Structure 1
């Protein structure tokens, strides 16, 4: 009989991180007691968790590591909170949360499960040697991609302590448009939905529409030589080359700057690449729902320098094929019949891949690529299956602490 566990989930954001919802829901379904600790205040994640009946507590630590007494006080208060909650398992996501959890719970009788969303911190020449030591404080490190699991393996972490469970995608929320003919998965019904979405976005119905969905992060000092990791600059440079020979193509960028520094960098990109005066580029800074953009698109692009699985899974689930860079876990999201992989940071290679995808579009074959992408997403990246895997690991880890 399964032992009932008390599980505390720690996350450094109360707005992002919506991917924990299926995980905590599965844990509660199994009869475990779940409490979530987030930064205090309102936020989308806090609201959703509360709406679903989860206990949400405000973190006494702000997840900012500064060389001053406030950091020590915050960590001590977080330690007191964990001692009061007395969880069997402390489950945390994102690197700042991991650092806080490890330090605050040293010596406490709690099992620590770290789940890694993206590999960026492992790509830093300063952080990687530190993590070679610190991963040993985690009883298990659940890796969101096989790539991340490999990076931890290179740091000496044995396979049993670095299982892979993707964050996945919600196949019900990111569903491909329904068609009018059951035997025509990429036919008239999709065309009707696409035309409606394009009309709402102000994009021509017959254009070859490429979409990139990603926040704009500022350049990182500690990784990738100070370059911004999402690759907006790579795509915009490639687009200028590609668009010169494809006048009926349109690029839709979706995502504002993350923090003031990210927005300043986004404005710099707009100026540097003449986006404001280029009729072939539309940049939407913020959308509550990105699904209309995927419904309108022919192709998705993820040109990141560092990434987990990114927005590719959402596009794939909605029947849109992708071009991805060879960074992080992105190559895991496509196969030869559902997308293209190009070298990261290479505008020329990306422009060539865009031209290849356009030839498939012009020949009427690109929708079939999208259907294969959808089938792959449903088969490998359903977040309900991932939630079961995460719950299995947490149960096994929590139970091991009582044997």
Structure 2
């Protein structure tokens, strides 16, 4: 089987999902190609995982150049001649479906709905597009049941498939007390201070601004607590300015973008991600695989990935700094309970979120689509998978 993944973004959780799929699909003997901008992290990591990387120059957001980007992608698809085209996130989903229009068996994986990320006329336009474009995907792959329900409630008609995100449990091993100590020493952190870590792209979606709003209340209750923001992104400068305005900015560390977040996860007592929206965030899964408890906004995917024991203390209402501060402080005051919950979180990852199981389920989805020749929900069935000439 020849699989062509198309992705923009080229960083963060989406890129890591693509790389994990590439690695597993190559191990299964598939020919795997990845079309993405060459200047991001995804290109290098996908190549290292065994993919043939094709340079697709495309911006992260829609704009005047989108039609040209779709035309460039059409040429890439024609040259690659894949059995399956797998489109990741809104931008690749937009350009890819415009480029191919269902002529190649297409799987669209939104990784959170585009219309949830914006408001007003832009949200309405995004929703109209998604309602129209599902006809050009043989399957819409959601990473949580809530993401699927949100799509259905928004009026999308699709052949739905839900496959939760997974993590490579060989790569993300549980970190014991010795690993925590070693990680803190390597990162220049105090060995005893309670530490909350937020790993994620610095952007509005991930809600680091909400976390900074909550942090002064945390330090009022727990003066020794420290916070680390791990990641880069468009809000880095604004968030750094917010940190400098805090009563004790020295207790918040902006770690920047890192190639490997595992030392930060190992160093943490608690991993926090106060997102405004998600499909199913990958960073919390990686934290739980490292045997760290998490505190998440109750957005799509969060409730589904947590063990039952974490549903009470591991979920918080979105955009509620006061509730967030209370739960962070309560967790950091009890490191023994954090360790216990972290072990339960690791068990949950082993049972439900091993990436090897995800790869098998995605391969089965591909094979079922190819075997059945199932078209999109409102498209005429065609077995000719040639990309049409430009009209």
Which residue of 2 is the match for residue 314 of structure 1? 286
Residues 1:199 and 2:175 are matched in the alignment: no
Is this contact kept in 2: 1:174–1:291, CA < 8 A?
yes
Is this contact kept in 2: 1:7–1:88, CA < 8 A?
yes
1:65, CA displacement in angstroms? 4.0
Which residue of 1 is the match for residue 339 of structure 2? 367
CA 1:337–1:397: 2 relative to 1, 3 Å:
same
Q: Distance in 1 between matches of 2:184 and 2:28?
A: 43
Please give the secondary structure, in 1, of the residue aligned with 2:162.
coil
Is this contact kept in 1: 2:296–2:315, CA < 8 A?
yes
Which residue of 1 is the match for residue 258 of structure 2? 287
User: When the two structures are superposed, what TM-score results if normalisation uses the length of structure 1?
Assistant: 0.82
Residues 1:94 and 2:89 are matched in the alignment: yes
Is this contact kept in 2: 1:7–1:90, CA < 8 A?
yes
Q: Distance in 2 between matches of 1:104 and 1:246?
A: 54
Is this contact kept in 2: 1:122–1:128, CA < 8 A?
no
CA 1:31–1:207: 2 relative to 1, 3 Å:
closer
Is this contact kept in 2: 1:152–1:162, CA < 8 A?
no
Which residue of 1 is the match for residue 103 of structure 2? 109
Which residue of 1 is the match for residue 141 of structure 2? 142
1:212, CA displacement in angstroms? 1.0
Residues 1:118 and 2:115 are matched in the alignment: no
2:164 aligned to which of 163, 166, 174: 166
Residues 1:351 and 2:325 are matched in the alignment: yes
Alignment of 1:66-85 (within 5 A): 66-67=63-64, 71-85=66-80
Residues 1:152 and 2:143 are matched in the alignment: no
Please give the secondary structure, in 1, of the residue aligned with 2:86.
strand
Which residue of 2 is the match for residue 176 of structure 1? 174
Residues 1:254 and 2:230 are matched in the alignment: yes
User: When the two structures are superposed, what TM-score results if normalisation uses the length of structure 2?
Assistant: 0.85
Unaligned runs of 5+ in 1: 178-189, 218-227
- Count, aligned residues: 365
CA 1:61–1:360: 2 relative to 1, 3 Å:
closer
1:250, CA displacement in angstroms? 1.6
Q: Distance in 2 between matches of 1:131 and 1:146?
A: 18
CA 1:356–1:35: 2 relative to 1, 3 Å:
same
| 1:233-283 CA-partner distances (Å, limit 9, x unpaired) | 221222211211212222122123x14xx2332233223435xx5332222
Unaligned runs of 5+ in 2: 374-382, 385-391
What stretches of structure 1 move > 6 A for 4+ residues in a row? none
Is this contact kept in 2: 1:15–1:46, CA < 8 A?
no
Alignment of 1:178-327 (within 5 A): 190-217=176-203, 228-256=204-232, 258-259=233-234, 262-273=235-246, 277-307=248-278, 308-327=280-299
Which residue of 2 is the match for residue 23 of structure 1? 21
1:358, CA displacement in angstroms? 3.3
Q: Distance in 1 between matches of 2:139 and 2:210?
A: 36
Q: Report the more deviating stretch, 301-310 or 16-25.
A: 16-25
Please give the secondary structure, in 2, of the residue aligned with 1:19.
helix
Q: Report the more deviating stretch, 367-376 or 166-175.
A: 166-175
Which residue of 2 is the match for residue 51 of structure 1? 48
CA RMSD of aligned residues (A): 2.5
| 1:30-58 CA-partner distances (Å, limit 9, x unpaired) | 4443322222x354332233334432222
